[in-house]
């Protein structure tokens, strides 16, 4: 019998959390009274995560493990699990237990109301002030640039209807942001409030650099607004430069030659140079995405799949 619900969990160095997660998740899924499967993707873990996951797959027929041959990132891990998932409802969940598995029935109920994508909004976030502030700024900027209406882009506890997952599987982008990609296919999205807990073991896999990198992928992968904004800044800067040049010309005729303003001119020059470099960076971001796409390299490499008769 095909499962009705598929739980997709990316794992990277989560040895202390795996057994604790499974001991809470499995009873929750049993209580739904629906057939289910749990798909873990081991994203090149360097601790004993894969060993523990294999033990779970051997003891529980509902568990399958996608084993990567390296570290390809959280979103690639989810996409690999999407490829083999079979449920009518597919739910993504992090392995760190910051999003309690007990919240899953809320998302299932919302999908069964007729929604095809259900996001979650973390209540009373147990993160540092820096993470919460950065997340708020990213959420606001992303909504403005992409036009997508999602309250909490960073929460990975989400539910997708089978049709949405099938559409995502047809996409072969070298890098993407799954919640935003799903939103582009959604006809009836919804959101629910969920609890949020403090990470008990391990550390976040998203450094400041990775958060910035993810935000760039999100903005440049789903919008050309950064290019349009820079073009607008370029036009305004050009007009300002012409006006300032006219001012200096008139000032020279009235006052004569002077050198007192040389440092001001240098400051203005550096300002314009900074804008130019920033613009080149934005253009380079888009060119880099094109470069990744035309190479057509595999997005991830699956070494093997464990469980369910060890699918190839």
pTM of the model: 0.75
Positions of the chain with pLDDT under 70: 125-149, 153, 199-225, 252, 256-264, 266-267, 308-312
pLDDT for res 259: 56
How far is it, in rounded angstroms, from Cα 90 to Cα 82? 8
Q: What are phi and psi of 199, to 5 degrees?
A: -65, 125
Domain ranges of the chain: 5-203+298-306, 225-295
Residues 6+ apart with CB under 8 A from 137: none
Tokens encoding 176: 């993407």
In this structure, the number of other CB atoms found within 10 A of the CB of residue 253 comes to 7
Measured between alpha carbons, how far is residue 195 from residues 8, 102, 238, 290 in Å?
19, 9, 50, 39
Tokens encoding 267: 């400051």
pLDDT for res 106: 94
pLDDT for res 312: 47
How far is it, in rounded angstroms, from Cα 145 to Cα 171? 22
Tokens encoding 148: 């997508």
**Residue with the two structure tokens 């559409």:** 167
pLDDT for res 233: 75
CATH superfamily of 5-203+298-306: Spore Coat Polysaccharide Biosynthesis Protein SpsA; Chain A (3.90.550.10)
How far is it, in rounded angstroms, from Cα 257 to Cα 263? 15
Q: What are phi and psi of 124, to 5 degrees?
A: 50, 60
pLDDT for res 14: 92
pLDDT for res 209: 59
Tokens encoding 12: 């990277």
How far is it, in rounded angstroms, from Cα 282 to Cα 274? 13
DSSP state of 308: T
pLDDT for res 164: 96
């Amino acid at each position: 019998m095909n499962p009705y619900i598929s739980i997709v969990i990316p794992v990277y160095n989560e040895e202390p959390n795996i057994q604790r997660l499974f001991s809470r998740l499995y009873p929750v899924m049993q209580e739904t009274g629906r057939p289910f499967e749990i798909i873990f993707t081991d994203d090149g873990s360097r601790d004993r995560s894969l060993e523990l996951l294999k033990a779970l797959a051997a003891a529980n027929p509902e568990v399958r493990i996608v084993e990567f041959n390296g570290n390809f990132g959280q979103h690639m891990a989810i996409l690999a699990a999407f490829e083999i998932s079979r449920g009518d409802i597919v739910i993504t969940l992090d392995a760190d237990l910051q999003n309690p598995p007990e919240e899953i029935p809320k998302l299932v109920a919302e999908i069964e109301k007729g929604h095809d994508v259900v996001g979650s909004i973390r209540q009373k976030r147990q993160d540092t002030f820096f993470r919460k502030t950065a997340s708020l700024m990213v959420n606001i900027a992303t909504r403005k640039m992409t036009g997508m209406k999602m309250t909490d882009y960073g929460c990975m506890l989400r539910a997708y209807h089978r049709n949405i997952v099938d559409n995502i599987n047809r996409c072969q982008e070298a890098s993407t942001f799954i919640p935003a990609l799903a939103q582009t296919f959604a006809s009836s999205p919804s959101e629910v409030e969920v609890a949020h807990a403090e990470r008990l073991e391990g550390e976040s896999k998203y450094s400041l650099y990775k958060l910035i990198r993810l935000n760039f992928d999100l903005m440049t992968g789903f919008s050309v607004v950064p290019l349009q904004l820079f073009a607008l800044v370029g036009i305004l800067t050009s007009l300002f430069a012409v006006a300032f040049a006219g001012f200096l010309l008139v000032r020279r005729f009235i006052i004569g030659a002077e050198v007192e303003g040389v440092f001001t001119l240098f400051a203005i020059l550096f300002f314009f140079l900074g804008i130019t470099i920033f613009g080149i960076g934005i253009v380079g971001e888009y060119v880099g995405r094109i470069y990744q796409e035309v190479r057509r390299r595999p997005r991830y490499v699956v070494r093997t799949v464990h469980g369910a008769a060890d699918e190839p």
